[in-house]
Structure 1
Amino acid sequence: MLTAPYDYYRLLRDAGPVVRLSKYDVLGVARYDDVKTTMRDHETFKSSAGPGFNDAYNQKMQGTVVASEPPQHTEIRATMVRRLRLARLKDMQPVADDLARKLITQFLERGEFDAAKDLARPFVGTFVASVLGVSTEIAEQAIDGSTAGFNQTGPLNERTLAATPVIESLFAMMQQLTKADLVPDSIAWDILDSHERGELPFASSLSLIFNFLGPAFDTTISAMGFAAWLLATNPEQWKLLRENPELIPAVINESIRIESPLQIWSRYCPDGAVIDGVEIPANTRVAVFPGSANRDERHYANPETFDIRRNPVDQLGFGQGIHTCVGAPLARMELTSVLSAMTELIHTLEPAGEPVLQLNNTTRGFASAPVSVS
């Protein structure tokens, strides 16, 4: 199912607005309107009980931005937004542009690159490390920890269990962090400085750093790898983009729609609800499928077709409501820098072999995606 989920998603959508996934004892919503409603209604479908499918993970995530409700969530999110303010991102734009051009130039000299191994992971790791103020070594560990964190959402399987030591190693490293390990005046440095000034307890400062390090890598790496691969395997779309680089924002939305980095998440319904005429009993965990919603033929015409003229600004890949991804502006900026460099410097972009998926309980991305360029 992880390698080819889309036929399964269609079965879920056709079965009804709410389906029972008996093996995991949860209800699921897979249609666009129902997924959007569930994600937006944080008062009915809560995140404070955790977004995963096992108790250990949900307990561990308590108090983070993805597992909290107002007023706690409002305070955490406001703290993150202040540190990830637009002005700071604008200052980092030239850094992202320069890094993207350097990488693409190297690829052109070789005539090929791997969209996952050579482009997405190195670019996101290097750039986010500079934004947060951590070393590339810490960023590399955080990338592995980010992937493991999404695996830990469950349900309990081999991937979930294998992720545990990776997460424990990341937390152990974070426990040892000091300002001396960080770039002065960077986001992570500022958080630890706030702790030293008595504004944040140490546990809260670590939780806040994790809120940045955890989600900042895996999903953006996945989105970047898929954007490059989709353009390589759809030559008419690549030609259209080269002739119309102003379509880059549309490419970002369309690639995230058709290959959503976040495929599944969950909410907890403590008091019961009704979705499209179907009753949700109290104390029910609900599986939410944005990867299915973004391909719902009830909402998008020809949803299986990658069409950058579509520009689906309403795609659900970044979430909805108060839990919309805090890092979405950062991810868009990274993708814009890379796509701009590709569009400017690359003429021919073609697949150079079969891609290999990186199987994950929650996200969808490549382990490898080889392309040739000239």
Structure 2
Amino acid sequence: MTDALVDRIYEASLVPEHWPCLLEDLACLSGSVGGVMFATDTGTLTRWTAAATTRQMVVAYTENSDVPPNDRPRFLRRRNYLGFLREIDFLPPGHLDHDPIQLWLRTWGLGWQCGTMIPMPSGELVIMSFDRPYERGPHAASLMPRLDALRPHLARAAMIAARLGLERARTAVATLEALGLPAAVLDGAGRALAVNGLVAGTPEMLTGAYGRLRLNHPPADALLREALGAGWIGGAVRSVALPSSGTRSASIVHVLPLCREAQDVLGGATLVVLTHLKADANIPDAALLPGLFDLTPREADIVVGLAAGHSLHDSAAAAGLTVATARSYLESIFRKTGTHRQGQLVALVKGRSGIQGEARPDPA
């Protein structure tokens, strides 16, 4: 059984969709009913995969804003133990008496966990955690050596998968450089894993502390951070607009998950590609706007109307919308494009310098 598991561990490092079934078998080995593996540098589950038996629970945890914060990774990291531990082994005495995570797990019929933490070269941590029903009591200490015997193989498999992901990242940015596009691959904290040579000469992209890549426009940079925090989940693609200024032209930063499968926790990262907008007095194409700015078709209609010089009232009428609905769409458009006024929005989509000076109310 152990030899077969070792073989499957290394297979999963190359074929990430094998992880869920492997986690289920490892759960059985430890007297658990399911498990999860996630990569993080903050304790947040941004990239994860889980056994089918606990997947619904993990989805609920990641998507429910009412879930209590989980401080277990912090205590596990503090122990710095190269093996599997039960929560009763690494949490402070009396902590479980008021632990909100255990109370939340009990709503799912669970309540006891064991896990391990594997440091990665990128600075991230890979955490594997296995869940046991509350009614059965804590994991038996005698079962931890079974998982410990496999941990060196799990650690090596994680390193292999991460290395493959890094090579894939380097290939991606090199290919985009040949196409004349500045590009970088970032981890969840915004640190650059791979950057092509065009980024250094791009005023839109700057390197900050700890190797983090940032955009040279605070509202756009805030949108990039938001995309890095949530864009990987579900494989969503985002676009972030940067208006023109005295040192840069208007541009779009496309944010794409760089992963082969949804289960590619260890090789997953985010590809950031910059494209410039050509200054143009023409009205933007409604078919092009959704791809550039993540707009809905109705939002694109509003932008086209405003760019044509129409008021919001007339743009709404042309799109078959009420003014109240159009205003709601406009607020969403502002958020997606990082603009605050209609004049700034029109200047952005036409690739021209934004309007400077006092903010004035835009005509309705």
Q: Could you tell me the TM-score, scaled by structure 2's length? A: 0.27
Q: Could you say which structure has the higher strand fraction?
A: 2
Structure number with greater Rg is: 2
Q: Could you tell me the TM-score, scaled by structure 1's length? A: 0.26
